[in-house]
Amino acid sequence: MKTAVWTLLGLALHLWAAAHVSLWGPVMGTSRLWWAKAGTLSLSFAAWLLAGWLGQREAVWNGVRRWPVGVRRLLQIGLWVALVYVFLFSPFAWKVHRRGLFLLGIAWTVLGTWFLQGHRRREELLKVLLVTGAALAFLSPYTDVVAFPFSLTWSEGNRLWDRSLIFGRERYLYPLDQPVPVFNDPGRILLWGLIYLYPGASIGLVRFWNAFLFTVPYLVLAWMLFRKPGAARTGVTVWVMTLWGFLFLAQGPIYTPLVLAAMLVWYGAQRKHMLTRAAYLLAAGYLVRITRFTWVFAPFMWALFLFLADGDPRTRRWWKRHLVPLLSALVGSLVLVQWLDGEGFVNLLARLDGHAGIEQLKSHSQFGQLTPQALWKTLTYQSFLWHRLLPNPTFPLGILPGVALGTGAVVLALAWAWRRYREAPSGWARVYGGLMLLAFFVVGLVISTKIGGGDNLHNLDMYLLGLLLMVGWHWQRLEDRLLAALPKPLVLWALLGPMVVLFWGYGFAFRPRLPSPEVQQEALAFLQQATQEALTEGEVLFMDQRQLLTFGYVRVPLVPDYEKKLLADRSLSGDEALFRQYYQDLQRRRFSLIVTEVLKVRWEDPARHDFAEENNAWVRWVAQPTLCYYEPVATFRELGLQVLRPRPQEDTRDCPAKLPVSVTP
């Protein structure tokens, strides 16, 4: 009887969907109609599956178990491969990137593979969901591994350029003994630039290296945290926790240097020899200092929690064992960077490697200042957009709801474990751990609200890593007891929360829609000819798309000034000195051609558009003045590329009055 009832409901759903498709077919078009029909069939089959499960569960399970194991495994693998291919790597993946459709695809695959396993345990369903989500999160960055010569995102091309400036300086027509001003930090330039040690590194290989750095280190850190040292074999539960740890970090995402620093802290804290631990913490402190000065105290604070959790600070033995390693973390981030500053560091690398291009990092030797004046300037030179803490067009979830959804279950689980288990850390560690997380949380919120950010949780990186390190410490002592005893709603929240943030909150990285090869070749041919002709009249400025110089698509002398990321950042603070110089160069026609993104004077409403405040600052300080002095000679909208040339003098007479700052000081 139940089966008949549910089958009739499934048939009704099928008829409703078919009628809906027939009604809207002429409006939807052929391609969308095809997807609607496929969706109808899927819903019908899902209704049948639900009918069988609700009406004759035991019969269905027993029937599936009688299938050959090889057939079931093959069907499971086929479902996973189909999901990954259709939504990430297929030629039409960009068409199916709608959040709802994507989540429906995940649900369909999870339920299908769980059904094929022939299990009735809910734990198996959660494992299938975890594996599916982790696989999608891991493979997603690799959708950008294409040999497309133009920039895939707003800043991707120029990041490929600036990260090549240590080990790839010979790629540019620019004096090797002169530094190139670069709007990036040495830590990321060194790590991402390692791929340029291979002289033949192509744009596809460099993109692969970028995807590797945003995936594999996350996985390795999670494996380090949840694998029991000295264990003869790695159990299934360890791999389950490793995949969860990867998903937890991927919801940031988090820049790899900080992930590597967390590895050094975790691994170093477990060494027995005091000097060995000190060496690891010294390296962690130095690594974060040459990357982001806001991370400067993170290794010290993480290590302090791990040391407090393992002993009583009121004893002499604790101080004897942990004082030197803790001080070494501070020495690495506060002292070593002064002795081995930018110039000394790059000279050391130059002696080891012989790359003359390393000299360019001397222009970035300060690595950010920690003086009170510098810190105050960092806090005040740009405005704060506090409304981004709540749902907004830039981040639909909002920072506060997003971090609560993605990490709230972990915080509650830690508090639950502290009350339940004697093996939980001492009172000293608990108090300090709570204060540490609170400090990282507040700092992350403040940084997230600065104009230019707030579209994801990556500025809460120290908080996310601190939480995961604390979970790892508890796991090493409580192991499966912690997972088995946790309230099931917390376990479900801890699994689904990061996935919702990652796959729904701020979108997901799908394969980009690439213009046809003909459009690409047309644009490259035009750029190659136009830039060579323009060199006879003046300099050619690649404000954007500088990766075309990096990989030899265009060969002109490098003009390092006025890179797009720098101009965008300075427009958010209204840097009058920089823009006065820029406007003077525009006025005197310093550049015979400017290669940029498609510039447009379009003001946006912050209540309706994402990054509206950033767009309006860019229009005021960059787009509008540039278009006043220069005019488009070619625009390739599919590529996000525009080429500008100077306007006639008589057309620019009114430009000085339209500038946000006078061209004369």
* pLDDT on residue 604: 94
The pLDDT-based confidence of 377 (bands split at 50, 70, 90) is low
- Res. 59: pLDDT tops 70: no
One domain for residues 185 and 255: no
- Res. 357: pLDDT tops 50: no
The structure tokens listed for 567 are 């101009």
Task: Fill in the amino acid letter for 497.
Answer: G
Percent of the chain topping pLDDT 90: 55
One domain for residues 254 and 205: no
Nearest CA among 132, 30, 152, 16 for reference residue 79: 132
Residue-wise pLDDT tens digits, 276-323? 999 999 999 999 998 988 899 999 999 999 999 988 888 888 999 999
The pLDDT-based confidence of 4 (bands split at 50, 70, 90) is low
Task: Fill in the amino acid letter for 571.
Answer: S
Mean pLDDT calculated for residue range 341-366: 48
Provide the CB-side half-sphere exposure for 20 (13 A, CA). 12
Percent of the chain topping pLDDT 70: 80
Mean pLDDT calculated for residue range 491-515: 84
Of the segments 39-53, 88-102, 338-352, 625-639, which one has the largest average pLDDT value? 625-639
One domain for residues 206 and 220: no
One domain for residues 26 and 101: yes
More confident residue, 317 or 50: 317
Mean pLDDT calculated for residue range 236-243: 89
Answer whether residue 369 is part of any domain. no
One domain for residues 77 and 137: yes
More confident residue, 634 or 481: 634
The pLDDT-based confidence of 258 (bands split at 50, 70, 90) is very high
* pLDDT on residue 102: 76
Give the lowest-confidence range in 236-240, 419-423, 570-574: 419-423
Answer whether residue 509 is part of any domain. no
> At how many degrees (to 10) do helices 316-330 and 274-289 cross?
30
Residue 605: strand, helix, or coil: coil
One domain for residues 524 and 645: yes
Mean pLDDT calculated for residue range 195-212: 96
Q: Is 75 exposed, middle or buried (0-12, 13-18, 19+ CB in 10 A)?
A: middle
Q: What is residue 235's DSSP assignment?
A: -
One domain for residues 276 and 412: yes
Q: What is residue 173's DSSP assignment?
A: B
Contact 474, 396 (CB under 8 A): no
DSSP assignment of 105-169: HHHHHHHHHHHHHT---HHHHHHHHHHHHHHHHHHGGGGG-----S-SSTTHHHHHHHTTTTT-G
Nearest CA among 523, 542, 545 for reference residue 158: 545
Q: How many structural domains comprise the chain?
A: 4
DSSP assignment of 549-595: HHTTSS--B---SS-HHHHHHHHHHT-HHHHHHHHHHHHTT-EEEEE
* pLDDT on residue 98: 65
Which range of residues forms the domain containing residue 446? 214-227+234-339+382-498
- Res. 534: pLDDT tops 60: yes
- Res. 150: pLDDT tops 70: yes
* pLDDT on residue 509: 65
Q: What is residue 644's DSSP assignment?
A: E
Residue-wise pLDDT tens digits, 159-193? 999 999 988 989 999 988 788 888 888 889 989 99
One domain for residues 278 and 130: no
More confident residue, 118 or 445: 445
Mean pLDDT calculated for residue range 596-619: 94
Mean pLDDT calculated for residue range 558-573: 94
Domain boundary residue, one of 429, 464, 498: 498
Answer whether residue 256 is part of any domain. yes
Of the segments 242-251, 289-298, 335-344, 474-483, which one has the largest average pLDDT value? 242-251
Q: What is residue 312's DSSP assignment?
A: -
Kindly provide the residue ranges of all beta strands, DSSP E only, lying in 357-473, ordered along the sequence: none
One domain for residues 165 and 121: no
State how far the Cα of 115 lies from the Cα of 52, in Å rounded to an integer.
11
The pLDDT-based confidence of 364 (bands split at 50, 70, 90) is very low
Phi-psi category of residue 68: left, alpha or beta, with phi > 0 → left and psi -120 to 50 → alpha = beta
Answer whether residue 512 is part of any domain. no
- Res. 5: pLDDT tops 50: yes
Answer whether residue 347 is part of any domain. no
Residues whose CB is less than 8 angstroms from the CB of residue 438 and which lie 6 or more positions away in sequence, other chains included: none
* pLDDT on residue 18: 52
* pLDDT on residue 16: 56
Residue 215: strand, helix, or coil: coil
One domain for residues 160 and 136: no
- Res. 355: pLDDT tops 50: no
The pLDDT-based confidence of 615 (bands split at 50, 70, 90) is very high
Residue 384: strand, helix, or coil: strand
Answer whether residue 510 is part of any domain. no
> What average pLDDT does the structure give for the chain?
84
One domain for residues 138 and 169: no
The pLDDT-based confidence of 459 (bands split at 50, 70, 90) is very high
One domain for residues 558 and 424: no
Residue-wise pLDDT tens digits, 14-39? 555 555 444 444 433 444 444 455 55
